């Protein structure tokens, strides 16, 4: 019987790979954005500046504060990587999302399990770099290696998970090749997974099974309750696997962005720490938009950890602001053992 020995939740945003002196490189793009989702509304940059006028965000974006928060994030990532090495898992199941890297509007699954033999992580091509928005290329090392790398998949476990989830009435999409569409601005595995390989599992690239969750793109985004159920079913499937192996489960993404909502993040983290699924599911679904939708990669992890009776420890929560409009990325790091 396989056993889940570790759960990890981590943010993966570009600011984690960007020197704090350069965080403002994306602010011009923030200003041009036609509408930033925030709670139940959508706001232009200037509207957000007015909304947060009393929050002293000018102090939050001062360079010394950015430097301190960047350092805190690096320490948290290093701690998670140490925990992963110490746990010595035989296989990792990674929960992440795609941002039009593998998929396109022609076909976008709500849930997908990858069952290929290998997982390619490929740096941006020269042509792809030309199409990147501001502030992305500088952080490429965060999720892409300098030269293409290939990591081992685990087809046997992946197929077992597919079969088990189908039995639980999850209509799972599958793939055994990373076929990026012509419209993609990336190659190989998406950055949500690349971050895990580069920053968390870097010194111990054990076989892994990527599990995709469509949090970003309507109209087929799974609701939080469905994500929670997926996590519980994943844990049950792992327990039912015949091979006596140690499994780590990692959720990649979040927290609130691209407009930071500390109140939402803390309510979310509090629900996880208290193992309060009712409080978690009471969070209005309109919050899970834009980058904040990546919290749906944490929800199935939470479900799997509840099923496995592992307890959460918050490593750190770091709101990384880059503008007076509240734009940036709140970073969260936690584990279950």
**Is 17 a residue whose pLDDT tops 90?**
yes
Q: Which domain, by its residues, includes 234?
A: 3-336
> Does the pTM exceed 0.95?
yes
Q: Residue 271: which CATH number?
A: 3.40.830.10
197 touches 205 (CB < 8 A): yes
Residues 6+ away with beta carbon under 8 Å from 329: 11, 13, 14, 15, 255, 256, 257, 258, 260, 291, 320
**Is 183 a residue whose pLDDT tops 90?**
no
Compute the distance between CA of residue 153 and CA of residue 206 in angstroms, rounded to an integer.
8
Compute the distance between CA of residue 251 and CA of residue 86 in angstroms, rounded to an integer.
18
3-state secondary structure of 3: strand
Domain count within the chain? 1
Closest CA to 312 of 4, 6, 2: 6
Token readout for 38 is 């925030």
> How do residues 147-157 score in pLDDT, each as one tens digit?
999 999 999 99
> How do residues 101-159 score in pLDDT, each as one tens digit?
999 999 999 999 999 999 999 999 998 998 888 889 999 999 999 999 999 999 999 99
**Is 184 a residue whose pLDDT tops 90?**
no
Compute the distance between CA of residue 225 and CA of residue 228 in angstroms, rounded to an integer.
5
Residues 6+ away with beta carbon under 8 Å from 115: 153, 155, 158, 159, 162, 174, 175, 176, 209
Compute the distance between CA of residue 219 and CA of residue 270 in angstroms, rounded to an integer.
29
> How do residues 203-259 score in pLDDT, each as one tens digit?
889 999 999 999 999 999 999 999 999 999 999 999 999 999 999 999 999 999 999
3-state secondary structure of 252: strand
What does 51-120 look like in DSSP terms, one character per residue? HTGGGTHHHHTSHHHHHHHHHHHHHHHHHHHHHHHHH--SEEEEEE--SSSS-BTTB--SEEEE--SEEE
> How do residues 251-298 score in pLDDT, each as one tens digit?
999 999 999 999 999 999 999 999 999 999 999 999 999 999 999 999
Q: What integer best gives the mean pLDDT of the chain? A: 96
196 touches 96 (CB < 8 A): yes
Q: What pLDDT is recorded for position 203?
A: 84
């Amino acid at each position: 019987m396989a056993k889940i020995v570790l759960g990890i939740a981590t943010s993966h945003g570009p600011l984690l790979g960007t020197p704090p002196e350069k965080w403002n490189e994306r602010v011009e793009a923030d200003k041009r954005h036609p509408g930033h989702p925030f709670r139940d509304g959508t706001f232009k940059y200037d509207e957000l500046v007015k909304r947060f006028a009393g929050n002293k965000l000018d102090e939050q974006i001062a360079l010394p504060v950015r430097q301190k928060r960047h350092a805190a994030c690096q320490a948290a990532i290093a701690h998670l990587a140490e925990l992963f090495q110490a746990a010595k898992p035989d296989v990792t199941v990674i929960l992440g999302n795609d941002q039009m890297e593998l998929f396109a509007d022609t076909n976008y699954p709500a849930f997908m399990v990858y069952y290929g033999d290998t997982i390619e992580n490929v740096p941006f091509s020269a042509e792809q770099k030309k199409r990147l928005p501001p502030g992305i290329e500088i952080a490429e090392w965060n999720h892409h290696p300098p030269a293409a790398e290939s990591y081992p998949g685990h087809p046997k476990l992946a197929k077992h998970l597919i079969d088990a989830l189908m039995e639980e009435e999850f209509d799972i999409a599958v793939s055994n090749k990373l076929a990026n569409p012509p419209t993609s601005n990336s190659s190989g595995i998406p950055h949500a997974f690349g971050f895990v390989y580069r920053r968390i599992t870097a010194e111990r690239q054990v076989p892994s099974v990527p599990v995709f969750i469509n949090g970003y793109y309507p109209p087929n985004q799974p609701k939080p309750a469905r994500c929670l159920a997926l996590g519980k079913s994943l844990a049950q499937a792992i327990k039912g696997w015949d091979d006596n192996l140690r499994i780590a489960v990692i959720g990649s993404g979040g927290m609130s962005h691209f407009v930071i909502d500390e109140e939402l993040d803390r309510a979310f983290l509090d629900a996880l720490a208290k193992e309060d699924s009712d409080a978690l599911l009471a969070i209005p679904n309109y919050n899970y938009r834009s980058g904040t939708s990546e919290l749906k990669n944490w929800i199935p992890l939470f479900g799997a950890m509840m099923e496995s009776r592992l307890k959460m420890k918050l490593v750190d929560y770091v709101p990384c602001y880059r503008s007076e409009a509240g734009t940036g990325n709140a970073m969260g790091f936690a584990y279950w053992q």
